[in-house]
Amino acid sequence: MLSVNQIRENYQDYINRLAIKNFKAQELFNEIISLDDLRKQTQKESDEILAESNNLSREIGQLFKAGKADEAQKAKERTAELKERNKELSEILANTIAHLDRLLVTIPNVPHQSVPAGKLAEDNEIVNSWGEPAVMDETAIPHWELATKYDIIDFELGNKITGAGFPVYKGKGARLQRALINFFLDRAADAGFKEVQPPLMVNEASGYGTGQLPDKDGQMYFVNEDGLYLIPTAEVPVTNIYRNTIVNATDFPIKNTAYSACFRREAGSYGKDVRGLNRLHQFDKVEIVVIDHPDHSYSMLEEMSSYVQSLLRDLELPYRVLRLCGGDMSFTSALTYDMEVYSAAQKRWLEVSSVSNFESYQSTRMKLRFKNDEGKMQMAHTLNGSALALPRIVAALLENNQENDRIRIPKALIPYTGFEFID
């Protein structure tokens, strides 16, 4: 979240850069600055009243001692007036601060200078690629048909038990899920990430801290009686481990990983592009989260991107890396790389990971700080990425590796699955 001081100091620059996200900021910035001026003026008057009240309190006692009862009474009456005015100012101040906060949380994170302009996914920049997309003949079938053919994922059964978007994994399909989770967690541990197992529900403060609330309120499942939200990603609970925390700069980078189920309402999603595993309400994902020094966060972002790409190479999946344009970025991100794998039977690219630097946007909301070299408090930078989300990985593995009467398992996964083929 931007602070008022940041807006004042970078007024035109932030207006120009937020335009890359197709966000018109000038009118909002002007209102925020006006409210902050009112806050400062109100606080100044309140402080002056407090100082005058303190002086009068001391004088009243001295006047009574000096036998000046009339003057003491006038001073008491003035104190009562000041008290009443201060009550009014306190209310004005509280309302002004609340209004300021409501406006500040509506401003997206300022995009990094390298973010390209654009409104749609077609405007994203391809910055890297690996492998040649598999070319299959017309007999190749999509993963939802493969899932039925080999009885490994049952979409209808999930629909019966819960509803659309909640598949049931069976037999080797369930084994494949477990294998991928363990494979991703082991690779993360080898890369220096500490594994944590977070709760699958969070409170409102946690959702606010990472920026899902209020921006994505309608996309999250809410448990009304308890006031808790099912997590859309492990990013939310893992990052909030450090909410209201002062971390040691010597601990940077702080690297965590977590496996979790993820829950997303995905309201309004329909059509052929969301068939099968392409878009689910519940899915499994391994997340990586990093807290780092502002001077090093962009080199860390590149490191995280390279790490995710190494997982895709291990799985023998052709991929490409996109730098997202302003219009396709998340509300909270300053710079995002998307990794997409090629789905041979669907003949299209599927997003399997987003790796983002949020700079100080989340840490400002969470009050996640550290002491810099000068001993002053400074906001840390937060980053996260999918490493990896399972559904579309499974879709691409099934489609790209299908043979006449079986599906081949990539070599790196065989020690985890215990089998070489799904047949």
pLDDT value of residue 346? 93
Kindly list the distances between the CA atom of residue 200 and the CA atoms of 32, 166, 228, 230, 335, in Å, as whole numbers in the listed order.
36, 16, 10, 6, 27
Find where tokens 């207006």 sit.
15
CB 332 within 8 A of CB 210: yes
CA distance 326 to 311: 27
pLDDT value of residue 214? 87
R_g (Cα) of the chain, nearest Å = 28
CATH class belonging to 121-422:
alpha beta
- Domain layout of the chain by residue ranges: 4-104, 121-422
pLDDT value of residue 270? 54
For 166-281, strand residue ranges (E) read 168-169, 194-195, 201-202, 222-223, 228-230, 245-247, 254-263
Question: What CATH architecture is 4-104?
Answer: Orthogonal Bundle (1.10)
Residue 65 has pLDDT above 80, yes or no: no
CA distance 180 to 315: 10
Residues in CB range of 46: below 8 A, 6 or more apart: 86, 89, 90, 93
* Cβ neighbourhood burial of 120 (10 Å; 0-12, 13-18, 19+): exposed
pLDDT value of residue 54? 82
Q: Which of 153, 310, 208 is CA-nearest to residue 1?
A: 208
Q: Which of 112, 109, 110, 111 is CA-nearest to residue 332?
A: 109
Residues in CB range of 337: below 8 A, 6 or more apart: 127, 301, 305, 321, 322, 323, 324, 354, 355, 356
What is the chain's mean pLDDT, rounded? 94
Give pLDDT tens digits for 137-164: 888 999 999 999 999 999 999 999 999 9
For 71-192, strand residue ranges (E) read 125-130, 153-154, 168-169
CB 162 within 8 A of CB 230: no
Give pLDDT tens digits for 106-116: 999 999 999 99
CA distance 29 to 34: 9
Backbone angles phi, psi at 196, to 5 degrees: -130, 155
Residue 64 has pLDDT above 80, yes or no: no
Give pLDDT tens digits for 220-252: 999 999 999 999 999 999 999 999 999 999 999
pLDDT value of residue 218? 86
Mean pLDDT of 26-37: 97
Examine residue 253 and say whether the peptide bond preceding it is cis (omega within 30 degrees of 0).
Answer: yes
Kindly list the distances between the CA atom of residue 137 and the CA atoms of 277, 300, 319, 343, 404, in Å, as whole numbers in the listed order.
22, 41, 20, 13, 11
Backbone angles phi, psi at 116, to 5 degrees: -75, 155
Residues in CB range of 245: below 8 A, 6 or more apart: 366, 367, 368, 369
- Candidate ranges 81-85, 271-275, 284-288, 342-346; pick with highest mean pLDDT: 284-288
Length of the chain: 423
Q: b/e string for 176-188 if b means 16 or more Cβ within 10 A?
A: bbebbbbbbbebb
For 83-214, strand residue ranges (E) read 125-130, 153-154, 168-169, 194-195, 201-202
pLDDT value of residue 267? 59
